[in-house]
Every structure is written in structure tokens, then in C-alpha cells.
Chain A
């Protein structure tokens, strides 16, 4: 059936929140997805057939992700879904794609320790961001860390791994605090007072969503100096910096596989394409880039198989390589996660990141931290 000549579009599902407290970043993931789809369609589609996205807004509510994944697969007849930012939303989609044998493309960094034959993970695993970040922070700023995070799976797990890294390098965690998802400005004041007293060298943040803006603004109000005690993050991208204001973001540190400012031709053409579509002052970011390149990895595999059937498509995706804006990436055949670049950037006055570290090559994904010290994986 799949090999007969047809101009029927390839339908794919897209699940990113356009409303609620995760919309700031998930909107950019939606845009990254659509940018790639439009680019593919403008070039004639895949084997002469356009890609047609079926888009729903789960409104930052985890259970809605599960319900809408069912709707996509059952009512819309979709096999492939691009979506999810939070781990809880991914876990809501998991049983659905596993039972109906769909393929979820997950373009977000997460805490690792998961494998599903029905998911392709294209964001960073902890070995691709935290490990180098810790080393660089110790070298540049000092050994006293204060942890602040949103209260859910990802921050707690990331902090656990970061705590081990800090301890192994002879550092110290002088405070650890969590705020609820969607926390407001006031909730950070108390934490900032505590930070003042604890006198850390680095504030390590895994706060996500709208609350990110409140944290950095409260930090600014409390008169901290980012040159001395920066906030270091795995999740604060160009999108959040834009939302908080460039002056508020300046000097803070983020580890990511991708920044808009990295210099290569592939990235320049990607950034141009994005700005033509969404406006000159709209920055790209790591989650947007992963959302973008994963659609191309999908398209490349589909071009070869000409079948969107999960078994056939996945076999072609696994082990494939792609020239992404961040550099050459591959889909690791052992774990179905992407082998990505490690970069550490410092935000400048234009809301962009200047590189302070870059890996020599892409770093193999190791979601279970098997190649690292036992304390890191199990500690």
C-alpha cells in the first residue's frame, strides 16, 4: 500500500503547549517543528508527498498529553508524534505510543534513566550537559553551590546528579530549595534572602517555565553580581532570557547542545529561515533546534523507507546521522537517544550566549550513566 503512487500527505501529530505555564518554551518547540515541516514541504515534500501536521494544545497539563496522544493515534490515524517538554507529559504519552506502537519524538533535555522502543530522544541526557558544566563552574567561580529548582522529577534528579559531581570534585552544596511549578515572584524573595546568607559561588538553577523569569528578576533586585555569583542552568535558553530582559540575563551561564550564537553556515541558514518566518527579534534556542532537526531526521529516514510504519521507520532512524544546526548529530543505536554536542555559554547584553566551552565532537548519549563513576549513576 505504501509503495503505490499517491499524493496523500504524511500526517504527523504535534503536541506542545500553547497555553499555560510551559507555553514560553513549548511555543518555540512548536515553531521549530513547523519551520522544518514547511521547509520540507517547500522542497517538494517526502517522495512527492507533503507532511501535514495535526496540532493540539495540551495547555501545560500532563494528563491532556495522554488524552491527546490517544486522539492523534486513534481519531487522526497518526503514527508519529513530535512533542512534550516536561518528563511528566512524556510519561503520560508513553503507554499510548507503546500500546499502539507509535513513535514519539521528544526534543527536550531530561533526567535520563529511561528507554522505550517507541521514543526517539533528541534533547540532552545528563552526561551531555551536567558533567562539563560542573567542571567549568568550579574553575571559573568556585566550589560553593546553591541549588534552586522547580518541584518535579527533572530538577530533583538533575540536582542529585549535580550534587554528586560537586562532591566528587571537592565542592560543597550550601543550600537546596524547590518552588512549585508556576511559582510567582514573591515565592523567590525568601529563597534569595537565604542565598544572601549562604554566600554561594554559584547558583545552580533547574527552575523551568514562567518561574525562570521571576528567579532571575528577583536575583537582579537583590543586587547579586553575575560576574561573581552567576546563575548556572540547564534549561534557561535564549527564549527565557528574552522574556526576562537582556540586562537581567546578562552574565548568567547555561549548558546546552546548541546556542543561536554558534558560528557555522548550517546554523546561519537555520537562524535566517526562522527569523524570516517569525520575525527578526525572535531568537532560536536548544529546544527549538532539537524540535527542528528531529523533524529532518524523521524526513530523511522516511525518504528511505517510504513507510511511516513504526517498525520500519525506526529501524532506519536508528544509527542515522544528520547535519543539524548544532553540528553533525546521530541517533545512538544502543539507546535511541541523540549523540549531541556539549556547549557552555554565558549570556551577553544582546540576549545571546558567548561560548566558554565546546566539546571537540558530539558526545555519545549515556542516559543510564553507565560510562561514569558508580556514584554518579547510582549515588
Chain B
């Protein structure tokens, strides 16, 4: 349960919100290829060889805030919008989240030393993948797609959480309505309007009025 709560809270992390807002504010001035990335924070966890240097340079060109980390830490950091990380056999165990509840978009960087292991790719539950030798055009498209997919998944999870929440609320409202009908001797329609009026006067949701009423009813017996 606890894992399900944080992800439904609108912009769960300030960084996500910051990147999102600047996107709107700077639209128009910036070129289409760079405005999307402004203020985004990106961790790059790769060896600083030729390809690694090129990757960092391309990201800087996209105007994101880049932080280089090497070697791969035992637990990947979570305070970034996007993480580029070299694909190692033990990468899934270095991810600090369980698959399905990621805290950052993940772009795998395959150095091409071994054939690509698709089971490993799946287990990382990554949003995108890059290959060495690096193609500069691939960097920004990976960054863009990873961020898009990550946000889309988060919106979908949020929608499911909201649906579950709505179902719970509907059940509470029905139950509170039955209590009001009985206690105030009202018909169904009037009982509902009573609840809605209470909610509006108190500037709270009808669900919280319903829950409060049910709780107090349970205490009074």
C-alpha cells in the first residue's frame, strides 16, 4: 500500500515539476529540439572513454544538467529525472526500486562488448536504450523517449490509483447516504444533496464528508 500512495500525488518530485513548468514557459523562444530538456537533471553513469565523453557532450548540448558518476554505484541514485547507465549483468539488483515503481527514467547504455541480452533489458524495466559506437542523434531521441515513457507510465499508474480511490469513495458515499436517509428521514436524492451541501460548505470533497460521517456513526454505534 505505502508504495502506491506516493506515485499518485501529482508531481511527486519537485524536479519533475520544474522540468515540466519550464517546458511551457520557454516554448516559443527555444528551438523544438532543445526546449523539452531544459532544467532536466540527468545522471550519466558510464566510463569516460571516447563514447562516454561524446554522450556527456551531447547531453550538455541538449541543455540538461548533467552529472557524471563512475563507477556504477551499488545503488543507483534516485534524485534525477533521467539516468543513463552502462548495462551490466547485475544492473537490476543495483536499481533502488522494484520494477513497476521506478523513481527515474532509465536509459541503458550498451557498450557492445557482448551480444545484447534481452532478458536483462526486460529485467531493468528501462524506458530506452543507447548503443556504442554512439550516434549523436540517438542521444537526444533516447532522452526524449525515455522521459516521455516514464511520465506516461506514471500518469497511467496515477489513473489506476485514482480509479481505485474513486471506487472507495463511491462506496463511502453510498454508505453515508444510507445513514443520512435513515437518520434524517430523507429520500435518496435529498440525502445526496445533503452530503454535497455539507461538502461545499466545508470546502472538502464529498468523499471526506462521507468518511467522517461513517466514522462518527461507527463511534456512536
Contact = CB atoms under 8 A, between A and B. Distances in A.
A190 B197 CA distance: 40
A285 B221 CA distance: 35
Interface string B89-126: 00011000011110000000000000000010011010
Contact of A95 (B101, B123, B178): B101
Interface string A84-116: 000010011011101110000000000001000
A74 B99 contact: yes
A217 to B, nearest CB: 28
Interface string A153-195: 1000000100000000000011010000000000000000000
B100 A95 contact: yes
Interface stretch (B29-37, B67-75, B135-143, B168-176): B168-176
A377 B174 CA distance: 9
Name the residue among A71, A99, A374 with the largest chain B CB count within 10 angstroms. Answer: A99
Contact of A88 (B1, B92, B125): B1
A288 B167 CA distance: 32
A69 interface: yes
Nearest to A68: B98
A77 B99 contact: no
A374 B174 contact: yes
Contacts of A98: 100
Contacts of A153: 1
B170 A99 contact: no
B151 interface: no
Contacts of A265: none
A54 B98 CA distance: 19
Contacts of B221: 173-174
B98 A95 contact: yes
B171 A379 contact: yes
B200 interface: no
B4 interface: yes
A96 B1 CA distance: 14
Main secondary structure of the interface of B (DSSP, over half): helix
A66 interface: yes
A233 to B, nearest CB: 21
Contacts of A2: none
A325 B100 CA distance: 36
A364 interface: no
Contact of A99 (B99, B167, B178, B218): B99
Interface residues of B, number: 21
A91 B4 contact: yes
Prevailing SS type, chain A contact patch = helix
A69 B101 CA distance: 13
Interface string B146-189: 00000000000000000000010011001100100000000000
A99 B125 contact: yes
A378 interface: yes
A378 B1 contact: no
A67 interface: yes
A73 B99 contact: yes
A110 to B, nearest CB: 14
Given A92-B3, A95-B99, A77 B178 contact: no
A280 interface: no
Contacts, number: 59
Contact of B98 (A66, A173, A375): A66
Contact of B119 (A69, A77, A92, A375): A77
A25 B170 CA distance: 34
Interface string B203-221: 0000000000000001001
B3 A379 contact: no
B174 A91 contact: no
Given A77-B119, A100-B123, A377 B171 contact: yes
Contacts of A100: 99-100, 122-123, 125
Given A74-B123, A99-B125, A379 B175 contact: yes
Contacts of A378: 170-171, 174-175
Contact of B174 (A66, A67, A375): A375
Contact of B100 (A75, A96, A113): A96
A70 interface: yes
Contact of A379 (B100, B123, B174): B174
A69 B98 contact: yes
Nearest to A98: B100
A122 to B, nearest CB: 22
Interface string A355-379: 0000000000000000000110111
Contacts of B174: 374-375, 378-379
The 3 nearest A-B residue pairs measured at CB: A95-B100, A99-B100, A378-B174
5 contacts: A70-B99, A75-B92, A95-B98, A375-B175, A377-B171
Given A74-B93, A91-B1, 6 more contacts: A66-B3, A73-B99, A74-B123, A99-B100, A176-B218, A375-B174
